[in-house]
Structure 1
Amino acid sequence: MRILVVEDHCDTRTVLATLLSRCGCQTVIAKNMKDARSQLATMSFDALVSDLNLPDGDGLDLVAEAKRLHGLKTIAVTGRTEVVERKRGLRAGCDFYLTKPVDFHQLRCALGIRAHHSAASPPLPP
């Protein structure tokens, strides 16, 4: 499974990509919407995992584009915890809306990835 991970926070981006790679996924990372759009234009992906608070725009716009133009499974990973934000995310096209700190088991389940081992995964940094 090839996943585009969009996250402006370096540590979170690295942890997400590393943990997904350990599950057998091929990950491509982007630190903002511009980089993500460039990757989407040049590569094919199975899913988009994106923060919503990006330095160059609202990640929900990226989610909507990825869903509409590429038919991707879309998962928000965000600090936006309010119910109104969750509803907004689902309306924009998020298949799953996960709040930080993200439990990696929840992310794996959202992506349909089976764990390679039974050990619990630590939560991702905020």
Structure 2
Amino acid sequence: MLAIMAQVFGGVTLNRDFLKARVNAEYFFSVDVLDYLVKKGATYREAHDTVGIMVRECLDKGVSLKSLSAKELKKFSPLLGEDVKKLLNAEASVRGKRSLGSTNPTLVKAEIRKWKKRLK
């Protein structure tokens, strides 16, 4: 199976600029805003509703989440602060994950080391 996967993906090349542009679309990170709200004390349902309303309003007005002022953020939830804007990028998103199997680079490297040893 590994040999087949190596053949399938061995010749794949990635257009990093294209991928970076797509992955940094800030609405992609709305789940990180949801997690932020839950960590601040909102229930999952409240956080989900808040983020949904916030994203919909930004899309309707043609503005970005990062462009919202502190006052505008508080309109959506008193738990939202300016610091939430730091979460709206790929690097913060992957580093913010902590569970096994997540995208956190430290955890990914540990899994790679583990599997390299196992597969020898």
TM-score scaled by structure 1?
Answer: 0.30
Which protein is bigger by CA-based radius of gyration?
2
Q: TM-score, normalised by structure 2?
A: 0.31
Decide which structure has greater helix share. 2
